[in-house]
Amino acid sequence: MSNEESWFGRFVDTLPTKGWFKFLSKYVVTPYWLWKDPKPKLPGGPRVSSQPSDNVQRMMNLIMPLKDPSEIGKARAVMAIAQNVDEIFGGLDNVGTVHFARFVILGDKLCMISVYDGDFSNYIRDFIVTVGSVFDAIMAEIEGGSALIPTEQNVEAFIEWVHEHDLFQAPDFPTELFTLQDQAKGIGPDGPVHDLSTLPRNLVLQFHSNPDISLGGGYRAYPGFSAAQIREKLGVGW
Amino acid sequence: MSAEFDPNAIQGNIVRGYGIHHVRYLMLEVTDRKAAREFLVASLNGENPNVPIIQRETEWEENPEVCFNISLTFPGLQALGVSKKNLATFPIEFRDGMASRALKIGDFGDSAPTKWAPPFDEPDRIHLIASIYSDSEEHLDKVQTQVAEAFNILGTRDGRDLAKSKVVFGYVDSISQPKFKGIHDKSQNKNDELLDPLGTILLGYPTRMEGVYFGIPSPSELGFNGSFNAFRVLSQDASGFENFLTEAAEFLLKHPNLKDVLPPGGARQVGKGFSRKTALREIVAAQIVGRWRNGVPYELSPDTMEPDPKVSLTNFDYNRNSRCPVGAHMRRCNPRGGPIVQRVANLTRRIVRRGMSYGPDFDPKNPDDRERGLLGNFLGANLGAQFEAVMYDWLNLGLQHPDITGSNDPLLGANSVDTSWFDMTTRTGGKIRLHGLPRFVVCRGGAYTFLPSIAAINYLSQLKN
Ligand code: HEM
């Protein structure tokens, strides 16, 4: 409809910029649709694939709410990391499958952003096996973190917690969103066909359950190689 | 929690095998909760002659005539009335169930759950998988009839040990197996591998990972001393496998570096009376698994399947110059102390295997395509840390070593002819790459199950809701 070269089409196109329309969609339309068509929270992290090349260089965007988001609380988190950073990076080195990892403080959250190869659970488990006791100091600054300390004795719970706090990765092929939303509701591939024009609306609704998301799989300069393969090729040992 | 281990507290066939050569698996649905609970009560106290008794883990001189055991799926725990709160304390892999984890463990294409054989195509209806071990058909039938009184039998599967401890592709199997401190396993007398901590197989004990305990589901009566199992019906394409060995041998015969694999006149050293082609077929078979088909480890005896003097079947390790290929099946599943990318993971992903073959014998001289394969049980205290970790990162993908990353297990990986490869090692430290491996092993069904302790079976039998 909005593509029609009619006055009405042009009118609809300008709607998103109109104040009254913004107001209406925020307080009436979106809540109404959310009530009518709720979208369960979509799981975080990369999805498993049958393609080996998709199973290396996977992204983790772990977003951890700070217990105390004040300036002082943030500084405490920075201290906890600074005091343990060598051990944490040493631990990541021992895990062996990690390309990059870094910490970011964003608003009231502490983020750990990393690129790793293979299975998420193995990555987190091996990480805890090597530096769990050190990472506990960081978890102590995180909301909900105390329940998981010592992480070494709560490995499964910790893995699930990290998975829950890993950002949902919006698919590279936009229409895959339909499939993921269906899956989350337990609807199989034989479910009803989706009208392509409803994609934007479905994205809007999804933001209600996943307010922060990662956009697609990201850029890779040398796709398909594991960290160890690159190290081997560079002759730096793995 | 850590405790003294009491063998009478757990079911048999977990920390060591039975040594009985026939098994029948019953896939069961709970249709009458009360009848199911009464069955469990009787299976523990033995007061009803029409209910088989759960076989406990005790050492015996002579095999009992029949051993009966049970395992439960997540829908099974629900069906027996375990509370929502307690159900939530089971690990995520088990709660999801095997069919939901398909992509992760390589069950796609012909192995996809939508193609599984009944009753596995309806995973939510499979509540229990019971096993009857007995060398008498009569006993198998009798126990099956008894079980049918309390449960709806959705399907059965019969397995048996093939002659000379072999499996369908002609290898001797069940040689390497975790062994546990304080548990005497006759069949493993000659196994001189490192002992594994009990936490590898049972919940509530220290694991190989320092300081790490796997979570015990609640209440502890239900979770403590429990174990998990990945039950798999794996069909094996025996003629496809033999054909591949022939193709590979023909490829090697024309290869410019043939002498690095088999020097002139070397065939008879490989095995008595072997032609060059036979010798090459057996070398390929040995490198694919990491053992010659008679069980001799390739690592200790790369030039012959009949080493003189004999070599240990289990006492060896891998290193950077190993003759056993990094991609060989058993090195992928258990890299032992050899170099791996995940430096902290050596020996932490051990799997206890209990399996038997199904289907008719295969005669390589008269090949046929009837379905046959392995009824496999892959046991451990944590499905995610053991079975799935091995399936996803090591068997497929090959993340443990940069030289095999991007390739799948040659024997049972999710291979496709166009993209698969396997690097053989040569006598001179080089490699020869084989291409075109098809998928020899296809999953026909399976389930993740929980192996409850005796106290847990009692707990389940006493639920009231
Ligand atoms: C039809 C499928 C399979 C066949 C024909 C097969 C065959 C074999 C053979 C011949 C061996 C060497 C014998 C031995 O050391 O005991 C072996 C070892 C082993 N396999 Fe498999 N296997 C199959 C599936 C699997 C699967 C699905 C897994 C794991 C998820 C697995 C894990 C192991 C392990 C852990 C070892 C012992 C390695 C060691 O400790 O050195 N196998 N297999």
Interchain contact A172–B (C-beta under 8 A): no
DSSP string, B385-424: IIIIHIIIIIISS-TTSTTTTT---TTTS---TTT-EEEE
pLDDT value of position A3: 52
CB-based pocket (< 6 A), ligand 1: B 167, 169, 171, 173-176, 234, 236, 289, 291, 329-330, 333-334, 351, 353, 373-374, 376, 378, 387, 390-391, 411-412, 441
The three-state DSSP-derived secondary structure of B119-188 is CCCCHHHCCEEEEEECCCHHHHHHHHHHHHCCCEEEEEEEEECCHHHECCCCCECCCCCCEECCCCCHHH
Each residue of B155-190: pLDDT tens digit? 999 999 998 888 899 999 999 999 887 787 776 667
pLDDT value of position A27: 86
What number is the ipTM of this complex? 0.92
Residue of B1, B399, B401 to mutate when probing chain A, most A C-beta within 10 A: B399
Closest protein CA for atom 40 of ligand 1: B176
Listed in order, strand segments (DSSP E) in B285-409 are 352-358, 373-380
pLDDT value of position B203: 96
C-alpha of residue B354 to centroid of ligand 1, in Å: 10
Each residue of B120-158: pLDDT tens digit? 999 999 999 999 999 999 999 999 999 999 999 999 999
pLDDT tens digits in sequence order for chain B, 465 residues long: 446 788 899 999 999 899 899 999 999 999 999 999 999 999 999 999 999 999 999 877 788 899 999 999 999 999 999 999 999 999 999 999 999 999 999 999 999 999 999 999 999 999 999 999 999 999 999 999 999 999 999 999 999 999 888 889 999 999 999 988 778 777 666 777 778 999 999 999 999 998 888 999 999 999 999 999 999 999 999 999 999 999 999 999 999 999 999 999 999 999 999 999 999 999 999 999 999 999 999 999 999 999 999 999 999 999 999 999 999 999 999 999 999 999 999 999 999 999 999 999 999 999 999 999 999 999 999 999 999 999 999 999 999 999 999 999 999 999 999 999 999 999 999 999 999 999 999 999 999 999 999 999 999 999 998
Cross-chain Cβ contact B389/A160 below 8 Å? no
Q: Identify how many contiguous H helices and E strands chain B contains and give both numbers.
A: 13, 12
A32 pLDDT more than 90: no
A50 pLDDT more than 90: no
A166 pLDDT more than 70: yes
**Looking at CA atoms only, how far is residue B116 from chain A in angstroms?**
16
Both tokens of residue B37? 């609970």
> Rounded to an integer, what distance in angstroms lies between the CA atom of residue B103 and that of residue B98?
10
**Looking at CA atoms only, how far is residue B122 from chain A in angstroms?**
14
Both tokens of residue B356? 């038997």
A4 pLDDT more than 60: no
pLDDT value of position A17: 82
> Rounded to an integer, what distance in angstroms lies between the CA atom of residue A137 and that of residue A91?
15
Cross-chain Cβ contact B344/A126 below 8 Å? yes
CA nearest neighbour of B142 among B152, B55, B134, B28: B134
Q: Which CATH class is domain A42-190+212-238?
A: alpha beta
8 Å CB contact between B129 and B451: no
Question: Interior CA angle at B420 toward B418 and B426, to 5°?
Answer: 130
Cross-chain Cβ contact B389/A122 below 8 Å? yes
CA dihedral A45, A49, A52, A54 (to 10 degrees): -40
Each residue of B208-259: pLDDT tens digit? 998 888 999 999 999 999 999 999 999 999 999 999 999 999 999 999 999 9
Residue with tokens 């690129």: A115
8 Å CB contact between B93 and B229: no
With cut-offs at 50, 70 and 90, classify the pLDDT of residue A2. Answer: very low
pLDDT value of position B3: 60
Query: Which range among A2-16, A56-70, A190-204, A210-224 has the greatest average pLDDT?
Result: A56-70
Q: What percent of chain A has pLDDT over 70?
A: 98
Q: Give the atom of ligand 1 at the shortest distance from the alpha carbon of B174.
A: 16
Q: Using DSSP, state whether B236 is helix, strand or coil.
A: strand
Residue of A nearest to B394 (CA): A118
Phi, psi of B67 (to 5 degrees): -125, 125
